[in-house]
Amino acid sequence: MLELVHMDAGKQMSTHLAVSPAAGLTVGLARSPGEVEQAQRLRFRVYSEELGVRFPDGHRGIDVDYFDQWCEHLLVREVDTGRVVGTYRILTPEKAREAGRYYSESEFDLAGLSSIRHELVEFGRSCTDPEYRNGGVIMQLWSGLTKFLYLRGYRYAFGCASVSLRDDGVTAAEVWRTVQPHVDRCLPLTVQPLHRYPFEKLDSNLPARIPALIKGYLKVGAKVCGEPAWDPDFNAADFPVMLCLDEMTARYRRHFGLPDVN
């Protein structure tokens, strides 16, 4: 069983993040380089082999980059086999200072988040095994992420929700049409893309389905806090997503085992 180590009043205690016997899955933090490598191998299979992304530092079936060494790695495993079927990596503000920046600063100007930077955790490199893309794994990952925030005393999580541009931007445009009217609700906590995706150049307003991942983010109370950035390496439009733990819906606070907000 993977555990989250939490420091409280000078004492160390271990807390299991979450277990879902019905789904046969468990979620927790990687505790060794070998477990981190399992996450990196899943990332390589999904991003490189399935989506065709080529990472400069990827090799031997492993997706690894500079930021991995500074991150904690959240894993969802099958209880029976121990196989990793989902992962996030988590970069705390303290580790971001050591690394020199957040990973997302290669795509966004985060000046608008300067007032909360000391309590802002970045999550990223999200991926799920193809056999588990029914929503269960992403809910386990969000359960682990929100408990990480709560136990470590952070209030905010920030990351990018990538939408593939392999359909010439049709799905990304639909996502932007859906979330654009609500972006101002994040003010003043908004970000600016360094290279925005030019939706105005699209010729079509064809309808498309909102990806399940983004639907999930919005359901738990996360918000898109700016225009998307264009990521040519992933051939994706990256939507900046932020969650304030205090603003998470009551339903999902209960679902993730968090106390009610007073």
The domains of the chain are located at: 4-255
- pLDDT of 203 reads 60
Beta carbons within 10 angstroms of residue 102's beta carbon? 25
Token representation of residue 215: 């639907």
Q: Distance between alpha carbon 227 and the CA centroid of its chain, in Å? A: 17
- pLDDT of 157 reads 97
- pLDDT of 14 reads 35
- Residues 137-146, mean pLDDT to the nearest whole number: 90
Question: Exposed, middle or buried, 179 (CB in 10 Å: 0-12/13-18/19+)?
Answer: buried
246 versus 5: the higher-pLDDT residue is 246
- pLDDT of 215 reads 86
For residue range 218-232, list pLDDT tens digits in order.
888 899 999 999 988
Confidence tier at 209 by pLDDT (50, 70, 90): confident
What type of residue sits at position 262?
N
Residue 5, pLDDT > 50, answer no
- pLDDT of 150 reads 94
For residue range 30-70, list pLDDT tens digits in order.
999 999 999 999 999 988 877 777 766 666 888 999 999 99
β-strands 84-91, 72-78 pairing: antiparallel
- pLDDT of 86 reads 95
- pLDDT of 116 reads 96
Return d(Cα 85, Cα 230) in angstroms, integer. Answer: 27
What fold characterizes domain 4-255?
Aminopeptidase (3.40.630)
- pLDDT of 87 reads 96
Residue 253, pLDDT > 50, answer yes
56 versus 139: the higher-pLDDT residue is 139
